[in-house]
Amino acid sequence: MILGIGIDLTEVDRYRFDERGRAWFARKIYTPYEMEYAYRKRYPAERLAGFFAAKEAARKAFGFAIPWREVGVIHLSSGKPTLTFTGKSATLMERVGARSVHLAITHTRESACAVVVLES
């Protein structure tokens, strides 16, 4: 049974940072894994936008705000993205009765979109 669905769309240009902006935004929003992953890639802003969209989509699927750095995007060995929860949010899936979370992220040079589905 589907417990929640969230979707978010964002503009990639908002995630092209200078050093100062990158450091501030990274401390506030992204996990160390997300930053390292994005900056290993050719177009990091596209990845950062996708990660932000995934966090927003997760908030919408759950129906309430989750602290930004307590929800993170990781990649399985297959390359498939998924969400991980840490800190006070580590038990979030159990608390809402979710058995699994599904994440899809796509991006172009101009925009990024993510969809999250919670399943019981």
Annotated catalytic residue 60:
yes
Which structural domain range is residue 103 located in?
A: 2-119
Query: Rounded to an integer, what distance in angstroms lies between the CA atom of residue 89 and that of residue 75?
Result: 19
**10 token code pair:** 């964002």
- Tell me the pTM: 0.94
Backbone angles phi, psi at 88, to 5 degrees: -65, -20
Q: How many domains does the chain have?
A: 1
pLDDT confidence bin for 64, thresholds 50/70/90: very high
For 29-60, write each residue's pLDDT tens digit.
999 999 999 999 999 999 999 999 999 999 99
Task: CATH number of the domain at 61, please.
Answer: 3.90.470.20
The residue annotated as part of the active site, out of 55, 75, 80, 107, is 107
Annotated catalytic residue 107:
yes
Output the pLDDT for position 20: 75
The residue annotated as part of the active site, out of 28, 41, 55, 60, is 60
For 3-32, write each residue's pLDDT tens digit.
999 999 999 999 988 777 777 888 899 999
